[in-house]
């Protein structure tokens, strides 16, 4: 049966639930706009028509609503992509500007030790976010708006409005951010060609990929993520060889740069400066939990996705950044955020610069990685904007899905906003980079806070209304305390960023208004949206009382006895399996 015909064990549309048992019902009531007698050009034009236009007008509203949901299922990322796409998307999606380029600024401000400490703090918090997201995704997986929608009925609608719009603005900013970064990356090879020439090429490529739909997006991401993963593995191996003097200038580096110029660049303040960059670098990781909730066995896939986050943080962030700290001094004039050089290279390129040809290969892969995140940004931004319209948080005009499943109007507007990337030719593009990075990074903090806060309120409502957590399809391994830890860490990051923004590193010790708005604009935007929604709707509650939270809204109800039986059978099956199977389940 179609998954979302039944919600909370109750038929939402009983008059269509029996009919919808087979796909023949769905196909029989669609107007056949793919008629073989039509020309390819006509089919292409028809594909841009609204999704509802091909539904039999004689059906009831309930039947039409069910068919729309059935068709929308096809646009969900994991429904459209193959297993090979999903594995690489889980591992490598999001690895782009924040890690491969922005880490240079983090190293410059925090030093090698500050860089690792900041990464560990954000990474440890993310594990709790993943667990909370996994629990709610399996419980409320069918809600429009995903994890940003949970806060609307678990915490407060105004908070949900602010976080959702901040999330949308984040991804609208990320595409131009990545294209500006791409133009900066190319400066490693040439500074004579106008950067906007490259931006134009990359912009057209990303827009064409996204207008091709999920299939085009999946294939592009598979290529991009394969290149990123192979590059990072190769970088780790080569960096280890370089650090012990086995290649390049055959100089043994060891921990030399941890002593001279030192492990910390700006003491505690430097560590604080690293946190927001790492938040941006690890952004979108929480989406793995929601994709896993749609797997064939989500109760197994969600803990596996959490382990993938641990591996991603350790092997693709902590290990490479530790090696960079061994090979690149934090006061290198080539690093982004430093002074003394007009050409700012990625720390990954600087680290392997003593080996011929390799820096060019690494820089090329970094360029692909940057384009990958830009590609994902346009994909996510357009769908988030359409989701906001469906929730009533944005004009309904954006709620237009064409016959191929694309949010056509939202995609068009997102693409237009992406034209802002042509500011790459501006002589102070690094300033633009910092503005966009600040907006994007802070937005991620609000999203993670919303997930953890929603989970805390969800568990409080469960307790207040007499429900048992044994009824949950998946229970967070870190529980409520893990979510509390996530909220506390995110709150401390916001405080740290406020300190850094108002009294910036390298300043004269006085408050700097320009620096504050340049580095804390995301929080200001979120506050404006929150207050505006409160005033407009006259909603004066800070949060919804636990006993008034509607726990049945879109909730999937599981039988506690059946879940216990399944867990027992799965434990027994693994126990009786060969060693390699038990090892796989332990690590994966």
pLDDT (0 to 100) of residue 442:
81
82 C-beta neighbours (distance < 10 Å), count? 12
Summarize the confidence of residues 265-273 as an average pLDDT. 90
CA distance 142 to 10: 14
Model pLDDT, residue 250: 76
Give the CA diameter of the chain: 78
- For residues 388 and 398, give the distance between their C-alpha atoms in angstroms, rounded to a whole number: 8
Please tell me the predicted confidence (pLDDT) of residue 25: 47
Pairing of strands 6-7, 10-11: antiparallel
Q: Which residues pair with 11 in a beta bridge?
A: 6
The predicted-structure confidence for 401-450, as pLDDT tens digits, reads as follows: 777 777 888 999 999 998 988 887 777 766 766 676 666 668 889 999 99
Closest CA to 139 of 462, 544, 568, 385: 462
Structural domains of the chain, with CATH: 83-557 (1.20.1740.10)
CA distance 38 to 500: 61
pLDDT tens digits, one per residue of 160-189: 999 989 888 888 888 888 888 888 888 888
Q: Predicted confidence band at 214 (pLDDT cuts at 50, 70, 90)?
A: low
Tokens representing residue 76 in the block: 């969900």
Distance between CA atoms of 160 and 145, rounded to whole angstroms?
10
pLDDT at residue 167, rounded to an integer:
87
Q: Using CA atoms, how far apart are residues 555 and 557, in angstroms rounded to an integer?
A: 6
Give residue 249's pLDDT.
Answer: 74
Phi, psi (degrees; rounded to nearest 5) at 400: -120, 115
d(C-alpha 439, C-alpha 521), whole Å: 6
Tens digits of per-residue pLDDT, 495-506? 999 999 899 887
Indicate the pLDDT class of residue 81, thresholds 50, 70 and 90: low
User: Measured between alpha carbons, how far is residue 142 from residues 89, 163, 200, 294, 298 in Å?
Assistant: 21, 19, 38, 10, 14
Gap between the Cα atoms of 584 and 322, Å rounded? 28
**CA dihedral of 20, 21, 27, 30, whole degrees rounded to 10:** 0
Q: Which residues contact 457 (CB under 8 A, 6 or more apart)?
A: 154, 155, 543, 544, 546, 549
d(CA 339, CA 352): 21
Tell me what pLDDT residue 70 has: 53
Residue with tokens 């012990």: 244
Strand partners, 30: 55
Q: Write down the pTM of the prediction.
A: 0.83
Q: 266 with 107: CB under 8 angstroms?
A: no
Residue 74 confidence (pLDDT):
41
Overall average pLDDT of the 449-454 stretch: 93
């Amino acid at each position: 049966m179609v998954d979302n015909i039944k919600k909370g064990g109750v038929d939402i549309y009983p008059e269509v639930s029996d009919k919808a048992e087979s796909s023949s019902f769905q196909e029989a009531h669609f107007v056949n706009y793919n008629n073989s007698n039509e020309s390819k050009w006509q089919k292409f034009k028809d594909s841009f028509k609204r999704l509802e236009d091909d539904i039999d007008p004689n059906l009831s509203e309930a039947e039409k609503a069910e068919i729309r949901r059935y068709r929308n299922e096809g646009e969900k990322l994991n429904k459209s992509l193959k297993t090979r796409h999903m594995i690489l998307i889980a591992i490598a999606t999001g690895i782009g500007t924040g890690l491969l380029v922005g880490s240079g600024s983090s190293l410059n401000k925090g030093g090698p030790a500050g860089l690792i400490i900041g990464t560990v703090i954000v990474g440890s918090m993310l594990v709790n976010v993943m667990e909370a997201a996994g629990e709610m995704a399996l419980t409320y997986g069918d809600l429009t708006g995903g994890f940003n929608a949970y806060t609307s009925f678990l915490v407060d609608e105004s908070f949900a409005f602010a976080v959702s719009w901040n999330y949308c603005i984040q991804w609208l900013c990320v595409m131009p951010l990545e294209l500006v970064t791409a133009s900066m990356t190319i400066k490693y090879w040439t500074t004579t060609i106008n950067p906007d020439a490259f931006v134009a090429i990359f912009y057209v490529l990303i827009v064409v990929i996204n207008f091709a739909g999920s299939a085009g997006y999946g294939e592009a991401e598979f290529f991009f993520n394969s290149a990123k993963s192979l590059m990072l593995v190769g970088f780790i191996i080569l960096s280890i060889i370089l650090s012990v003097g086995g290649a390049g200038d055959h100089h043994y580096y060891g921990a030399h740069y941890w002593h001279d110029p030192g492990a910390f660049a700006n003491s505690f303040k430097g560590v604080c400066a690293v946190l927001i960059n790492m938040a941006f670098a690890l952004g979108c990781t929480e989406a793995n939990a929601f994709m896993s909730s749609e797997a064939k066995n989500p109760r197994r896939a969600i803990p596996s996705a959490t382990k993938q986050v641990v591996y991603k943080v350790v092997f693709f962030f902590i290990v490479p950044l530790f090696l960079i700290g061994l090979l690149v001094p934090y006061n290198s004039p080539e690093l982004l955020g430093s002074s003394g050089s007009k050409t700012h290279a990625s720390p990954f390129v600087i680290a392997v610069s003593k080996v011929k040809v390799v820096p060019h290969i690494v820089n090329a892969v970094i360029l692909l990685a940057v384009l990958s995140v830009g590609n994902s940004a346009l994909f996510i931004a357009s769908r988030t904007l359409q989701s906001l319209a469906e929730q009533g948080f944005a004009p309904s005009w954006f709620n237009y899905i064409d016959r191929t499943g694309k949010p056509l109007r939202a995609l068009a507007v997102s693409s237009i906003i992406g034209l802002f990337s042509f500011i790459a030719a501006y002589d102070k593009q690094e300033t633009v980079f910092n503005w966009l990075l600040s907006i994007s990074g802070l937005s991620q903090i609000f999203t993670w806070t919303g997930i953890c806060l929603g989970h805390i309120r969800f568990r409080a409502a469960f307790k207040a209304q007499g429900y048992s957590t044994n009824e949950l399809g998946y229970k967070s391994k870190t529980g409520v305390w893990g979510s509390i830890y996530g909220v506390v860490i995110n709150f401390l990051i916001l405080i740290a960023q406020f300190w850094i923004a108002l009294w910036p590193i390298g300043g004269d010790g006085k408050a700097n208004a320009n620096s504050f708005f340049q580095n804390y604009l995301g929080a200001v935007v979120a506050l404006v949206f929150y207050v505006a929604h409160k005033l407009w709707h006259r909603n004066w509650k800070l949060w919804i009382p636990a006993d008034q939270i509607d726990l049945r809204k879109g909730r999937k109800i599981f039988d506690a006895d059946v879940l216990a039986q399944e867990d027992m059978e799965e434990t027994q099956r693994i126990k009786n399996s060969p060693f390699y199977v038990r090892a796989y389940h332990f690590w994966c």
